[in-house]
């Protein structure tokens, strides 16, 4: 498969480029970045000391030469790339977080024309953790308070993280609830006693934390903690490689990483 990478000069973009170059069945065919990036016109493998022959570009028409785009950028850029993928009939892997409900609806519409894997976290470990959280939520559906904690680096601009949100949504769905109806997004001042059946969220931003997530099930006399810690962004890249292969025989449809894991 011919693969395009957006945000090619960013940390995640570079990790994705390296991952693609290390896969014998995948070919890097395009690398995209912002028009004002100082990497425009340079070889996509320059940071590795490798010459790939693929120059970083801001010209979306290069997607015509790709079977699939992997995008971990920002919401406004992601929407632009999704439209370009539809135009060029290019599949899409989306790991961008902070998307609005309108953005998500736009992705759903695009998936009627192209195949898309959309997941706030591409890590295989995180998606296995979601399965454990779902199981625990079904078993601990009364007598336990649920709190979702997440910590990320100081440069992350959205909160709670997409992964924390999907963890909360997993619990809410297991309880047959809508997360927006039972979420406590912040606490400050005189909050009163904790609301039974609500899901609380706590956020830390600092340093270079790649990503820590814990869901607490707090009962009387006992506490269960389900935790995932990311030590390297390479887990997201490796999950993306699995997602790319999953789409190899798909023409349309919107899929999650759970779909990718189920097909393994």
Kindly state the average pLDDT of the residues 144-154. Answer: 98
Q: How far apart are the first and last CA of the chain?
A: 18
What pairing do the DSSP bridges indicate for beta strands 211-219 and 222-230? antiparallel
Domains of the chain in start order, with CATH, are 2-118+233-262 (3.40.50.720), 124-230 (3.30.360.10)
| Amino acid 97: pLDDT | 86
| Amino acid 264: pLDDT | 66
| Amino acid 21: pLDDT | 97
Q: Where are the alpha helices (DSSP H) in the chain?
A: 11-21, 75-88, 101-110, 124-139, 162-174, 179-182, 234-246, 257-262
Kindly state the average pLDDT of the residues 232-250. Answer: 94
| Amino acid 130: pLDDT | 95
2: left (phi over 0), alpha (psi -120 to 50) or beta: beta
Kindly state the average pLDDT of the residues 104-130. Answer: 95
Catalytic residues: 152, 156
> Confidence class of residue 165 from pLDDT cuts 50, 70 and 90?
very high
76 pLDDT above the threshold of 90: yes
Average pLDDT over all residues of the chain: 96
CA 71-12-106 angle, to 5 degrees, is 20
Q: Calculate what percentage of the chain has a pLDDT beyond 70.
A: 100
Tell me the pLDDT tens digit for each residue of 81-116: 999 999 999 999 999 988 999 999 999 999 999 999
Q: Which residue has the tokens 């047959």?
A: 176
| Amino acid 263: pLDDT | 80
Nearest one of 63, 72, 60 to 118, comparing CA atoms: 72
CA 99, chain centre distance (Å): 10
| Amino acid 12: pLDDT | 93
């Amino acid at each position: 498969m011919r693969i395009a990478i957006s945000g090619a000069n960013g940390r995640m973009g570079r990790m994705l480029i390296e991952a693609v170059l290390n896969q014998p069945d995948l070919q890097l065919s395009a690398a995209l970045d912002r028009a004002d990036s100082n990497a425009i016109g340079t070889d996509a493998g320059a940071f590795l000391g490798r010459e790939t022959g693929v120059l970083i570009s801001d010209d979306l028409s290069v997607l015509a030469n790709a079977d699939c785009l992997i995008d971990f950028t920002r919401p406004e850029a992601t929407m632009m790339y999704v439209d370009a993928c539809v135009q060029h009939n290019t599949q899409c892997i989306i790991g961008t977080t902070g998307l609005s409900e309108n953005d998500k609806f736009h992705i759903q519409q695009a998936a009627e024309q192209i195949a898309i894997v959309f997941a706030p976290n591409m890590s295989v470990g995180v998606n296995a953790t979601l399965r454990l959280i779902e199981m625990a939520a079904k078993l601990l559906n009364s007598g336990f308070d649920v709190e979702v904690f997440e910590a990320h680096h100081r440069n992350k601009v959205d909160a709670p993280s997409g992964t924390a949100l999907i963890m909360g949504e997993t619990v809410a769905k297991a309880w047959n609830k809508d997360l927006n109806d039972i979420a406590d997004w912040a606490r400050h001042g005189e909050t009163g006693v904790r609301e039974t059946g609500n899901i609380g969220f706590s956020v830390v931003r600092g340093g270079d934390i790649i990503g820590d997530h814990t869901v607490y099930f707090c009962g009387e006399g006992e506490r269960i903690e389900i935790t995932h810690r990311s030590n390297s962004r390479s887990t997201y890249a490796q999950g993306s490689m699995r997602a790319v292969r999953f789409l190899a025989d798909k023409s349309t449809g919107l899929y999650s990483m759970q779909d990718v894991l189920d097909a393994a």
